Chains A and B, each alone.
Chain A
Amino acid sequence: MRRWAVCWLVAAALLLLSRARADTSAPGGPRLLHVPTASKTTEQGVLTPVPVTLEVPVDLPARRALLHYHVFGTSAWRTLELHREGARYAGAIPCLEVGEMTREVRYYIRVHDAEGAVIAFSGTRSAPYIVAIHHPSARPDLALAALRCPDPAECPPGLPGCPSAEVERIPCSRDRDCEGGLSCGWDGFCGDDPRRRNWFGVDLVQGAGLLATQGACSVSSQESSGYACYRSRDGAIYTGRPVYSNEPLALGLAPTRVQLSYERLLFYDTSLGVRVGYAFAGEGPTLPGAAGFVPYSVEIVARYWLGRDPFAARGLRAYLALGGGFAEYDVRVDVRVREDPNSPTYTQGGNDLEQTLRVWKRAGDAFVSLGAGATYPFTESFSASVELSVCQAFPFPASIATGSVGLRAGFR
């Protein structure tokens, strides 16, 4: 009779107080099924299961109720699934777990929804219910007639009326659904995940741009296409009348950037990150009246990591990347220009029939990029990375190839 008193004591408290929503519940977080401190401690005899019954409010989308218990003298918390009986969840800490020694059994209950998220709880690991187990020699009033636990083979766990089934894997939908240093895995269960899911990095990035130089130094190109041309001889801004000749594509250096990045592993092989950069070298001159170079850049990048669950083990991790964002690229090339000596609208003096101009193209401000790279972890938390990518800047176009090297630090 004593054990059923324990059961109903807890159940009644839960029932009454769960309906009165506790003020301590976090907005959007799991609901606290509050129980007064006085009722969180009870007593019973040895070799007796600890019955637990929970009545969950009907408006809670409860899917499972898990009982987490710890027997004094053991190292780990264990978990049982309470079975549903109408509006209630019921179960018991097995008799064999209680044993015949005087000690304490601690437990708390968490209610999960269909996605595994904890939506309500009663008791916590730090403030659990406590059942003091007494030996008949000290408390003969708690002793039952049969001082023997039933054979588990006679009543398989999980069946109605039998001990609760032990839960090996705790369902979850996010890390805060897990306890004891565990994190929520992508399989929807808590576990000791070796993966570092949050990666901070610093990279040094060097770009090289491919430019169309045909007609690049015409006045209209300099006014509206992001080009700026300067005479090699005296550095003057070129405003001559070039012939629209067949100049080839030209390759030139683009700015050197330092980038800080944060990347979150979203799945076994997929990550999403943001990179913020600053161009500290390679900025070109700005034409009078034109907008200045913006050295800052920001990029959103998604990566597909090759291989099977590459973050579960150490080793070279290769990836493909797709990104886009904001950046300006000043690309510098030298272009041969031939003057049209018969232009009727000649204004600038000192332009030779043929000359080489220093051309800057300010490309951007948006871009999309496609790349590939690899990281090599020195430890579980630190890795080095290399990446090659191709960017297409727009609306002021240029094709930019970038190479980067960097370091990454991973956190759970």
Chain B
Amino acid sequence: MTRFPGERRVLPSNSVTWHRFILLLPLLSCACSADAVPEPEPTLDTKGAFIAVAADEGDYQLLRTLAVLGSGRDDDAFFVLPYLAKPGSFDEARELAQDPALPVGEVTAVGRRSITSREWRVVWFRSVSSEEQAAFR
């Protein structure tokens, strides 16, 4: 017997069993994902983060954070590695950032405001090697 006149009966005769199974599905999915840990994302201040910042020419500049002097204010100093590539979008910047052989310039210091005042996004992360760290020092 269906609940509504227009409702078609689609469940088998042992619908109680199916109902129980359907009710258990969310619990099962919870069990499968219970071990998952939220994947932490790199931030602007994360050492090794690749940041794509909108440039005046309409493209983007790709920077990589090596160190931050300051405590989160606009006048904090960022020591960054500027990459010579000029990506046209965040997605392209993300692709380029994954190339370990991407040409890189000298370590440069920039203010936080010079980044945050423009369109920017953290597009990738690669942990800083000892050689890269030495270049900063």
Contacts and interface: CB of A to CB of B under 8 A. Distances in A.
Given A246-B33, A341-B49, A349 B127 contact: yes
Contact of B40 (A233, A340, A349): A340
Interface string B46-61: 1111000000000000
Contact of B127 (A233, A240, A243): A240
Contacts, number: 57
B37 A352 contact: no
Interface residues of A, number: 19
B17 interface: no
**Which of under 10, 10 to 19, 20 to 34, or 35 or more describes the interface residues of B?**
20 to 34
Contact of A342 (B42, B100, B132): B42
Interface in A242-266: 243-246
Contact of A246 (B36, B129, B130, B133): B36
Specify the main secondary structure of chain A where it touches its partner: loop
Contact of B37 (A240, A244, A350, A351): A244
Given A342-B40, A342-B42, A342-B46, A214 B35 contact: yes
Contact of A233 (B41, B48, B100, B133): B100
Nearest to A351: B127
B35 A349 contact: no
Nearest to B35: A246
B68 to A, nearest CB: 13
B116 interface: no
B126 A352 contact: yes
Specify the main secondary structure of chain B where it touches its partner: loop
Give the one of B48, B100, B131 with max A CB within 10 A.
Answer: B48
Contact of B126 (A243, A244, A246, A351): A351
A341 B130 contact: no
A306 B133 CA distance: 68
Contacts of B35: 214, 244, 246
B39 A245 contact: yes
Contacts of A358: none
Contact of A341 (B42, B132, B133): B42
B124 A349 contact: no
A349 to B, nearest CB: 3
B98 interface: yes
Give the one of A245, A340, A341, A342 with max B CB within 10 A.
Answer: A341
A100 interface: no
A349 B39 contact: no
Contacts of A340: 40
A351 B129 CA distance: 9
Interface string A352-375: 110000000000000000000000
A137 interface: no
A350 B46 contact: no
A346 B128 CA distance: 9
Contacts of B43: 342
Contacts of A233: 100
A240 B127 CA distance: 9
Given A233-B100, A350-B100, A339 B125 contact: yes
16 contacts: A214-B35, A243-B37, A244-B35, A246-B32, A339-B127, A341-B42, A341-B46, A341-B127, A342-B46, A349-B126, A349-B129, A349-B130, A349-B131, A350-B127, A351-B126, A353-B124
Given A244-B35, A245-B36, 5 more contacts: A245-B39, A338-B39, A341-B48, A342-B40, A353-B124
